[in-house]
Structure formats: structure tokens, C-alpha cells
Structure 1
Amino acid sequence: MTRATRSPQGRLLYAQSGGVTSVINATAAGVIEAARAKGVPVYAARNGILGALREDLIDTTKETRSAIAALRHTPGGAFGSCRYKLKSLEANRAEYERLIEVFRAHDIRWFLYNGGNDSADTALKVSQLGKAMGYDIRCIGVPKTVDNDLAITDCCPGFGSVAKYTAVSTLEASLDVASMAETSTKVFILEVMGRHAGWIAAAAGLAGDGVDGAPHVILFPEVPFDEAAFLAKVKATVERVGWCTVVASEGVRNAQGQFLAEAGTRDAFGHTQLGGAAPVLAQLVKDKLGYKYHWALPDYLQRSARHAASKVDAEQAYAVGKAAVDCALAGMNAVMPVIVRTSDAPYRWKVEPAPLAKIANKEKKMPKGFIRRDGFGITAAARRYLSPLIAGEAPLPWRRDGLPAYGTLRLASVARRLPPKQE
């Protein structure tokens, strides 16, 4: 990472990337409010890096102070997001030249890219192209991902709220199953996000404690699926408790490394598109044990549930946005403001810059010490780590009709100065 003294001249470009979270707009608010306080105008790229390539920019100076403040409690991606990974400079020089053209045309001197692992890689590449192409641009990666799998940072903004939603949903659904188990459902299966890392599945473990506390079975991507052990655990639980709640990560694999359920398609980052482990497990329960079951796949509901957001998560999301501006205006390049935990109890944290080179394309999986020896639950260490992240509520303003009063933006377009990008 590098530092240089800069005066606040030029514009800052902010872009959102990948799957959004219920608090990513809080980060956007942190960026815009911090930049306004320093007298730096902010443009936003419409639909992530694609907006930068297409010169499809949004002028946030046209937004009112109250509209920007409302971003702190509004889910989704206010400026649009995308799954698009830049290739290397050698493989696709034309895209990088186009970015520089757009930056130069609009006097963009700071680029803040808000995303996860692949987005950190893109941010690192963009940070390197200034030197390679003779343009003074400072690039800051801003952390965001519900999967909680970014390296170095203690946790990822967006994860705490998904963790809270998952734990609450597990608790509420389990109370439902318990009330119906005598004559109806014996097994409930909840499938949660997590392709390679079981952080979200682990968060479900916060719903209960003790041998008989739901969820009774958690299936992690880090633990190869053992059909016989799984069925034995479910059977023993139903016989002892009367019912069983199972939480399965979408990325659960068998001993051969194959996903339990694979749609056979890939997203724009080249990742296998998953979603379907729950019905596979449900069919196993029916065929092998004969139990009546229900299963659920919350999917987007996990990452859009702003009504169940964690106060800690919302505060951290805003803080990294503000810190990203501070890093940029301090002249830093190729860094990401990360969350550093300084105490478990009471929970304390701070934000510090870390090199993008140590974050990009790295993946933080669940520590072995967080998974119970039998592979079906979380340990006390995991509970100590996870519990503070779901703490507190992040209140919403409500409309008279009983729905949340989410914010809306004008999204005024910036006049184009270049010929259209050739797709």
C-alpha cells in the first residue's frame, strides 16, 4: 500500500459489486456523507464496474441530504450491482484503457469498489492500472459479503444481519415444528447460503444451546457429508426430542467433493450455481426414515431482510464506507478498510487499512475449532465469535400502511463525454 499527500480535487467514483446485502447501502451512505464533509463530489457507477466501463454514471450531488441518510436503513443496492470480473491487464487491455478514458473524462481520482472476494481482486487490478497507464488513480476496496469469507477482516459487513436473520428464522421455525410434531412434521430442513464456507450455517447454531436445542443438525461445506451419520443423527434426535431441525449450507459436498445438489450452471464469476441441497436431504429423510418433512430455501430473503438487521452490522457497514473515504483522501492505494476485533466481552472493534494484495482471491473458511467434533454443530468458541455480530436492532421508520419507509434516489445520470463502449 502507498501513501501520498493529496488535496481534495477531482471526483470520487463509488461502485457496488456482487450479491448485495441488507446493509450495503449504509456503506454507500458512509462514503457519500464522508466525501461531502471533505468537499469531494461523488459519482456512482450504475450496476457496478459495468457502469464505469459504459460511462453510465450517477451524480450523487443531486441527491438530498435526507435521501442519502435514508440509505442507512434501505436494503438492496441503491446504484445497482453486477457480477463481472475484469480479466488481467494482459488478457484484456482494452477494458482497462476504457476505464482510464472514463476516469480521465470525468476527473475521477479515487475509485471505491464495494464487494467481496472477486471484487477485491478487481479493485486490486484497477489500483495497478494507474501506474501502468500513466493516470493518477487511487483505488480502495470496501468490504461486503454475506458469506463472511474475506481474509484479514474479523467479519464482513452484511454477514451480521444475515446471521441474525438465519438464527431468528431457525428459532421461529423450530417452535413451529415442535408444536406440530405429534401428528405432522417431524423434520424441518433450512438451506442457507455458503458455497465453500459455513459461516451462515454456523450462525443458525445461535438459535439454541445444549443437546436438544435447535438446530439439532448443521451441515457445513467444511465437513464432507456422511449419509449414514446424518440419518442416524436425525433418527436419534426425533426419537429423543420428537422432532428435528436441520440447517444445511448450500455448499455441502459428499466425500468425493461433489455438491449434494448442483444446478449445472455457472454465474458470471464462474462459480457453480447452487440451491437444492434441502430437497435432496428431505428425500433422504423420507426414503430412509419415513418421516414427514418440510424444507425451506430463503435465498434472497437472507440478504435483503433489513427488518431483521443487526445493529452492530449496520454500524460496521457505515464505518467501512467512511473509513474508505479517509483512506482514499489520505493518499492510500490498493487497501481495504477492515474490521479489527479488540475484545469479545464486551465486544469492541475498530477499522484499519489492510493491503488488497493479502485479501484478493483469498477465502476465509470456518476454523476447525468452531465446528463440533461430531461435525453437526458449533463450539463455544464459535458462539463467542458469532454472538456479538448479531447484537442489537437497527430500527426502521415505518409508513402508515405498516410497511417500512425505505428510501428512493433520483439517480440523475451524468452526461456522457465519450463514444459508447463496444460490447
Structure 2
Amino acid sequence: MPARNAFYAQSGGVTAVINTSAAGVIEAARDHPEAINTVYAGVNGILGALDEQLIDTGRESAESIAALRYTPGGAFGSARYKLKGLDENRAEYERLIEVFRAHDIGYFFYNGGGDSQDTAHKVSQLGEAMGYPITCIGVPKTVDNDLPGTDTCPGFGSVAKYIAVATREAGLDVASMAETSTRVFILETMGRHAGWIAAASALARDHEEAPPHVILLPEVALDEARFLERVRACVERIGYCVVVVSEGLRTADGRFVADQGTRDAFGHAQLGGVAPAIAAMVRERLGYKYHYAIADYLQRAARHIASATDVEQAHALGRAAVEFAVAGHNAVMPTIVRDADAPYRWHIGQVPLADVANREARMPAEYIDADNLFVTEAALRYLRPLIAGEDYPPYRDGLPEHVHLRAERVAPRCPPFRD
């Protein structure tokens, strides 16, 4: 069977290691010239296929592709763009097949979360139905760590490390000034429905009274009275309190505390501002002076403090996607399978795309303490190995050095699709 081209795209919110997975895909494809000629990358994710804006990664040097390992953000551009169901908007899927056919693309590697795995699954189904079979492999990515079927997701280990470090360092700052200044510090993390990132802050605690003192998770409704009593008791006992809260925290009636009343491109409620909401509650009910911080993009972009475990797994999963494809697998996603906690051991597995598409893996009940205000030792055993090790980027003039690709475009062969 003659070699064909591949299409790779990045989807959704980027991470500190999504480009590491890209490097894994491209390097592995170059190791299989008998199956894959060139990897075309979509400009701004799946939009690159719809608009036929393709980057020829074959024109990038091996050194540049290797340097993606150290570069945060999305090197080819990402997008929050959800393709609707086949029955609702078949034209977009047919457009993908049209572009793939025009550029002899026989492999589709989609690097993203649950919505992206759903798209890859639908493309594999439509290709078969249209007489243009295409091998579709999902490459897992999400800082939220909420993809089912895999022990962890690339991007999570690094954001978990960032949040744990930030919690410890900020806690020392607050402790040193608490007598005359801030009594309560609130750190807001990402996490719409799953509290993995906020939970990782617990790794900062190196003795019983160290921060964080309270963790508020989206898996459990906020009990205001219990929360405020914990804060008051903490301040009275040690002089200050550090609270870490997930953006997806909900009230007892199921509403997001920080719902902005708008929706993103995937149809999800846009969140932001749970930290000031919690701060206002502390001020009004307890009268303590407070400060808050919203980690926002900083937490997912912090490649300078990435977890070595995360980097290694992101690269391995990118390579595995190609190895699965050339071995004849289709409509699957490579996964991390945990073999042991300490010492940490893992291997690559796989799961059908149909089993991960549009699904979320939340924190299990046994990871949340009885008061719903912290995590258990079981959660810490799970989390510890994921932040292990350092993989620093090269530095120049005191700053991390990142690669800038040539990003040469491929000449279009299809008529325009969108206005």
C-alpha cells in the first residue's frame, strides 16, 4: 500500500506540553516513510482543514521539531470550534473529506479533549460511509484531567505542579504578613466539572498546618456555613487561611458560583470570578482582610516548571498515535495505564474513541474528605507521581528559549468553503 499524507490538528485550550505531543507525532511519522509521506498541520486546529490552511511540517528541520518539546502554547494554532453532529451539519464533515482527498491525507491525528475525540470518531465514520476510509487517532490533551479511559491526560501533570508550587510559595508570603495584613488568600484554578487541578494544590502541604487549608471542588456543592467555619477556625488557630477553589464550584441548587451567563464555542458556560465571589463571602461574613489570585492562562502555559512525567507521557502518546495508525488501528486513542504508584510505573494502552467522546472523568468520592473541604490520602497517592521531575527548557539571556517554526503553507486545491 503506497504511503499517504497525514493531518494533525490541535484543539481547545492549549497546554504546556501539547507541542510535545506534536513533536511525538511528527517525529514518529518521519520514522515511517513507508506509510506516511508528510504531516500537514492545520492552522488553528480543525479550521485549518475546513479553510484548507495547511502547514507542511516536512519543511521544518529535525531540530525545530525537537524544540517543540520545550515550547508552550499551540505551535500551529488551536481553536474552540465544535463540529455538530453528522445529521445536523453534514456539510462540514464532507468538507473535511474533500480537503483530505485533495491532499491525499489518509491519517487524521486530533490532539484534544472529549469534544475533539468525538470529532475524530465522527470523521472515521463518515470517511467509511463516503468511500474514503481514513485512519483517525485521537491524541489526548487537557489540563482538566477529565478524559475517561486514561490514568491521566497530558497537560495536567504540569499544571498540577504549577498550582502546588504557587500554593506553597504564596502561602509562605501570606504567613509572613498575616499579623498586620492579609488573613485569607484565595487561589482560583481551572476546572469546570472536575476538581483535579484544585486538588493538586494539596501536594504543597508539607506539615499539618501548612497551606492549603481549604480546597473547594466542583464535585461537591458549596456548604457556606461549613466553609466559613473552617476559615474562621483556621485563622484563629494559625493566624491565616489559604483557600484553593476550582472555577466550576457550584451552589447547593447546582448553579455555577462564577457563571458569567455566556457560552463558549463548545456550548459550555463561560466561567470566571469564583475567587472574588468567595472573597466577598469571607469579607461580609467574617470581616477578614483578603487577597485573591486567578491563575488563568498562567497555569497552563508554564512550560518552565513542567512536570518531567507529563512531558515524557505527552511525547510518548504522540508517538503512540502514529504507531497505532501504521499498525492498522483506527478510531482509538492511546492512553496512560498506571501499573504502580510508588515507584511510579506506567505503559501505553488504548481505548475506542466512542468510549471517550463527550465524556468526563471527575474525581471519585474516595478522593474527597468527609467534610468536602479537602482531599484524602488516596488522592495524594494518585497525584504525587504526576508532578515528579523537572524538564527545564534551554535558557538564553535569563529567559526560556522557544522555537519559531517556518510554518510554510500548502497551496490550496479546493474551492473556498466559508465566507
Q: TM-score, normalised by structure 1?
A: 0.97
- Asked if structure 2 preserves the Cα contact closer than 8 Å seen for 1:160 and 1:310, the reply is yes
1:251 and 2:248 aligned: yes
- One of 17, 24, 31 as aligned partner of 2:11: 17
Deviation at 1:419, TM superposition (A): 0.8
Q: Distance in 2 between matches of 1:93 and 1:293?
A: 52
In the alignment, is residue 132 of structure 1 matched against residue 126 of structure 2? no
Q: Give 2:65's aligned amino acid.
A: I
Aligned-partner SS, 2:261 = coil
Match of 1:409 among 394, 405, 409: 405
Aligned residue number for residue 315 of structure 1: 312
Letter in 2 for 1:419: P
Matched, 1:300 2:297: yes
Partner Cα distance (2:132, 2:4) in 1: 13
1:33 equivalent in alignment to 2:30: no
The reply to whether residue 419 of structure 1 matches residue 415 of structure 2 is yes
The answer (yes or no) to whether the contact 1:8–1:329 under 8 Å persists in 2 is no
Counterpart Cα distance in 2 of 1:8 and 1:269: 37
Paired residues of 1:266 and 1:273 also in contact (CA < 8 A): yes
More strand by share: 2
Deviation at 1:55, TM superposition (A): 0.7
Q: Could you list the runs of 4 or more consecutive aligned residues of structure 1 that deviate by over 4 angstroms after TM superposition?
A: none
Aligned to 2:152: 155
User: How far 1:330 moved relative to its partner?
Assistant: 1.0
| CA deviation profile, 1:132-157 (whole Å, cap 9, x unmatched) | 11102110011000000000100000
How far has the Cα of 1:96 moved from its partner? 1.3
Which aligned pairs between 1:5-404 and structure 2 lie closer than 5 A? 7=1, 9-39=3-33, 40=36, 41-209=38-206, 211-399=208-396, 401-404=397-400
Q: Which residue of 2 aligns with 1:4?
A: none
**Contact (CA 8 Å) 2:192, 2:218: kept in 1 or not?**
yes
Deviations 1:216-242 (A, max 9, x none): 000000110011111100000000011
Q: Equivalent residue of 1:273, what SS?
A: strand
Could you tell me which runs of 5 or more consecutive residues in structure 1 were left unpaired when the two chains were aligned.
1-6
Q: Which amino acid aligns with 1:171?
A: R
Q: Tell me the SS of whatever aligns to 1:296.
A: strand
**RMSD of aligned residue pairs (Cα, Å):** 0.9
CA distance in 2, matches of 1:199, 1:208: 16
> What is the SS of the residue equivalent to 1:265?
strand
Percent sequence identity over aligned pairs = 67
Q: Which amino acid aligns with 1:111?
A: F
Q: Which amino acid aligns with 1:22?
A: A
Deviations, residues 107-142 of structure 1 (Å, cap 9, x unaligned): 000000000011111111111111111102110011
Aligned partners of 1:105, 1:293: CA distance in 2, in Å?
Answer: 59
Mapped contact 2:100–2:106 kept (Cα < 8 A): yes
Q: Give deviations 1:224-278, integer Å, cap 9, x for gaps.
A: 0011111100000000011000000000001000111211111000001101110
In the aligned structure 1, how far is the partner of 2:256 from the partner of 2:206? 29
Q: Does the aligned pair in 1 maintain the 2:124–2:133 contact within 8 Å?
A: no
* Equivalent residues of 2:305, 2:392 under 8 A apart: no
Q: Which residue of 2 aligns with 1:3?
A: none
Q: Distance in 1 between matches of 2:308 and 2:300?
A: 15
- Give me the whole-angstrom Cα distance separating, in 2, the residues matched to 1:199 and 1:89: 32
Q: Distance in 1 between matches of 2:285 and 2:133?
A: 64
Q: TM-score, normalised by structure 2?
A: 0.98
Kept after mapping to 2: 8 A contact 1:8/1:38:
no
- Matched residue type, 2:408: A
Quote how far apart the aligned CAs of 1:86 are: 1.1
1:402 partner letter: G
- Could you tell me which amino acid in structure 2 is paired with residue 24 of structure 1? I
AA aligned opposite 2:59: K
